[in-house]
Amino acid sequence: MTDALPPTIGPGHPAAFHRGPGHIIVYATPAFLAAFGSTCLGLPAREALPDLPARAFALMDRVLQEGRPLARRIETPHGQRRLVVVPRRDPDGETYGVTTHLVAVAASVEIR
């Protein structure tokens, strides 16, 4: 199954496809399912992912509305994560959903 994932999404990082303004979870990587449970499929993100902070959903709303990718750091029960949200577009260029990708943030980051 992980062979079918885009090269930017590793099998160890939770990622999912969400559809519409309710951010219905329509596809999730094995890592996403391991982190949030298989019962999240078909549910709105706010209902299925109650441990995520409100700013995570605000970011998803903004990407869906503006149609441009954004990222921010969020706190989760498993530590700080970088949430990357990318718009999903139909063949006519209309944004119909978003892809989310969570990556653990290192405790110490070297600043150059």
Walk me through the domains of the chain, giving residue ranges and CATH numbers: 2-104 (3.30.450.20)
Do residues 87 and 68 touch, judged by C-beta distance below 8 A? Answer: yes
Q: Do the strands 15-19 and 24-28 form a parallel or antiparallel pair, or are they unpaired?
A: antiparallel
Q: Is the pLDDT of residue 10 over 70?
A: no
Euclidean distance between the first and the last CA atom of the chain, given in angstroms as a whole number:
38
pTM of the full structure: 0.83
What pLDDT score was predicted for residue 11? 58
What pLDDT score was predicted for residue 78? 81
Which tens digits make up the pLDDT trace of 82-92? 999 999 999 99
**N residues, the chain:** 112
Distance of CA 9 to CAs 28, 91, 108, Å?
11, 22, 23
13: confidence class by pLDDT, cuts 50, 70, 90? confident
Number of H helices and E strands in the chain, helices first, is: 3, 5
